[in-house]
Amino acid sequence: MGRLCSPPADMREILAALGLADVSSGVFAGGWVDAPGGGEIVSVQPSTGLPIARVLAAGDADYDAAVDAAVRAFAGWRVVPAPRRGELVREIADALRRHKAALGKLVSLETGKILAEGEGEVQEMIDVADFAVGLSRQLYGNAMHSERRDHRMFEQWHPLGPVGVLTAFNFPVAVWAWNALLAAVCGDTVVWKPSEEAPLSAVAVTRLANEVCRRAGHPPLFSLAVGGAELGARMASDARLPLVSATGSCRMGRAVGEAVARRMGRSLLELGGNNAVIVLDDADLDLAVRAVLFGAVGTAGQRCTSTRRLLVQRGVAAELTGRLVAAYGKVVVGDPLARETLMGPLIHARAVDAMMAALDAARRQGGEVLCGGTRVDRPGFFVTPAIVGAHAGMEIVKEETFAPILYVLQVESLAEAIALQNDVRQGLSSAVFTRDLRAAEAFLAATGSDCGIANVNLGTSGAEIGGAFGGEKDTGGGRESGSDAWKAYMRRQTVTINHGTELPLAQGVRFGE
Ligand code: NAD
């Protein structure tokens, strides 16, 4: 039984609004499994360090049941016409709209992100749902001209199967939506293993989405198996899941990618970033300061797209650094539910330790902490955001520390900045601030940024859902959300029809004539 443990006064209200007051099970396998056997996972509120609730995780048999349910549901769902599948997703969007406030608050409580960002995350789910509804009428294949007379060639896209979705703690519900709602219009069903740091948000969303399925007369499409890394590993090697979409650290992605490849499955990897903002001498510094502040401090530096490196041209280095240090001094760190707060806590004590260890390494390697970087003396996992004066030889600058540390490096030229920016293993998001058209285009050219996302005069963080989201190199190469990312969730079939009376062979080959 999932007990509520000293919940804050309004917590019961939030949970009740989401139908979670007596939540205990973290396994949905065509219905909620009463007493799953995978032990308890405690959901902890990062702003107090206290438990919110206990969720029962999936044991082996529960996991199997969750996948079996998704396999069964797929058999029927794949033959529902795609625009009808879109109608279901539209109803999920409506349900999300109705529950936006409560769900946004739960996300804030469980992850520590500020309320505006918790609500923004739910809005992102709604946006992607709306996108998926439109997509349900646009799953287009190409038609080709055949080289053979009286032949017609085209490609069509079929549903792929049940999709495994592994998510990270920092976007505990939006990343599910990116995957699950696109997968749903593509005719797939979903098995979700959420982060062990945010099981309650996952239970809430699963409840909401399957309730919509029930009311619409469809079988439940969205299985849930709460559990730890070992459950994720099991999912990676599970041949019943033709696609595993995994979001998280590069370390996790490497393990998942290898396991999925061993069984010839398909993986979609959305992994760590080490994103840089380049600010040139001619930049609009007002824009740059705001963008870097949001990118580096927003979500307490716990976004895959967080700004971790500032590569600033010599002429504006002192002014920009000074303005940022001043802006950091005004950042209100505190209760994520308070409207004036700009930065909430880190996710857990280990994250605070990792931030302190990175700062120690930075000092040892010749960096200078210009501001912040301290633990805040109060319950929960609070720190002050740090700016570090750094140089290119520092190894720590090449790592993704999932915390609000901004390394500032001075550069002479755009060419030097691009070379430095690309000289890391990750390749997710990047940005340049300049008023010079040529510099902007050089940044976007094939010899410019090597990242999956490249922005001009806006920061690295806060992507819209309409574009394909993802990155290169150790970031994993996956693309999710907008554009043609839906193709990952379907199987392509190239069709040739001969409507003539001859059997001409391709390439003009003659055989036995
Ligand atoms: P994490 O890698 O610790 O965990 C992510 C998920 O993978 C969790 O569900 C976890 O249980 C599971 N997992 C961990 N090890 C596994 C293994 N060996 N096999 C199978 N599953 C395993 O990541 P986190 O701390 O939750 O999230 C932070 C990381 O996620 C950062 O590196 C961040 O950049 C990245 N991230 C990337 C994106 C993106 O779209 N590129 C988005 C959000 C977060």
Q: Please write the tens of the pLDDT for every residue from 333-389.
A: 999 999 999 999 999 999 999 999 999 999 999 999 999 999 999 999 999 999 999
Q: What is the pLDDT of residue 3?
A: 39
Q: Is the pLDDT of residue 417 over 70?
A: yes
The residues that bridge with 152 in the sheet, in sequence order, are: 497
485 close to ligand 1 (CB < 6 Angstrom): no
Q: What is the pLDDT of residue 14?
A: 83
Question: Looking up tokens 């707060």, which residue turns up?
Answer: 341
Say what the pLDDT of residue 24 is. Answer: 74
When pLDDT is averaged across residues 125-132 and rounded to a whole number, the result is 98
Please confirm, yes or no, whether 304 is among the known catalytic residues. yes
Sheet of strand 143-144: strand arrangement: 143-144, 151-159, 490-498
Alpha-carbon distance of 1 to 44, in angstroms, equals: 16
Considering 186, 213, 250, 304, which one is annotated as catalytic? 304
Reported as a single tens digit per residue, the pLDDT across 254-305 is 999 999 999 999 999 999 999 999 999 999 999 999 999 999 999 999 999 9
> Which of 128, 231, 247, 350, when mutated, tests ligand 1's pocket best, judged by the most ligand atoms within 8 Å of its CB?
247
Half-sphere exposure of 96 (CA within 13 A, CB side): 28
Cα distances (Å, whole numbers) of residue 184 to 131, 135, 258: 12, 11, 26
| Residue tagged 């099970």 (tokens) | 25
CB 270 near ligand 1, within 6 Å: yes
User: What pLDDT was estimated at residue 481?
Assistant: 96
Structure confidence at residue 473 (pLDDT) = 98
- Report the pLDDT value the prediction gives residue 2, as an integer from 0 to 100: 33
- Whether 106 contacts 172, CB under 8 Å: no
Does residue 233 line the site of ligand 1, with CB under 6 A?
yes
Phi/psi at 311 (5° precision):
-110, 105
Residue 4: pLDDT over 50? no
468-510 pLDDT, tens digit each:
999 999 999 999 999 999 999 999 999 999 999 999 999 999 9
Cα first-last separation, the chain: 75
Angle, in degrees to the nearest 10, between helices 174-185 and 115-135: 10
Confidence of residue 22 (pLDDT cuts 50, 70, 90): low
Q: Which residue has the tokens 């996108």?
A: 131
Question: CA nearest 411: which of 321, 317, 323?
Answer: 317
Q: Report the nearest-CA residue for atom 40 of ligand 1.
A: 270
459 Cβ inside 6 Å of ligand 1: no
Distance CA 243, CA 82 (A): 19
**Token pair of 346 as six digits:** 């880190």
Q: DSSP states of 448-508 as a string? A: S--SSEEEESS-SS---TTSEE--EETT-S--EESTTGGGGGEEEEEEEEE-SS--PPGGG
Decide if 147 contacts 505 (C-beta within 8 A).
Answer: no
Closest ligand 1 atom number to CA of residue 305: 34
Q: What's residue 513's pLDDT? A: 84
Spatial separation of the C-alpha atoms in residues 111 and 194, rounded to whole Å:
13
Nearest residue (CA) to ligand 1, atom 11: 229
* Average pLDDT value over all residues in the chain: 96
Residue 9 is predicted with a pLDDT of 59
Query: Average pLDDT, stretch 166-185?
Result: 98
Ligand 1 centre and the CA of 470: distance in Å?
14
Cα–Cα nearest to 368, from 405, 404, 401: 405
Residue 391 tokens, joined: 């140089």
Percent pLDDT > 90 in the chain is 94
Instruction: Tell me what the mean pLDDT of segment 305-310 comes to.
Output: 98
Both tokens assigned to 191 = 């098995």
Q: What average pLDDT does the segment 295-321 reach?
A: 98
Ligand 1 pocket, 409 CB below 6 A?
Answer: no
Say yes or no: CB of residue 171 within 6 Å of ligand 1. Answer: yes
Digit-coded pLDDT (tens) for 47-99 = 999 988 889 999 999 999 999 999 999 999 999 999 999 999 999 999 999 99
Q: CA–CA distance from 141 to each of 125, 133, 136, 493 (Å)? A: 26, 18, 13, 9
Q: How far apart are CA 205 and CA 3, in angstroms?
A: 19
Residue among 183, 177, 182, 176 at smallest CA distance from 162: 183
Q: Which two tokens stand for residue 95?
A: 């349900």
CA distance 100 to 212: 15
Catalytic-residue membership of 5: no
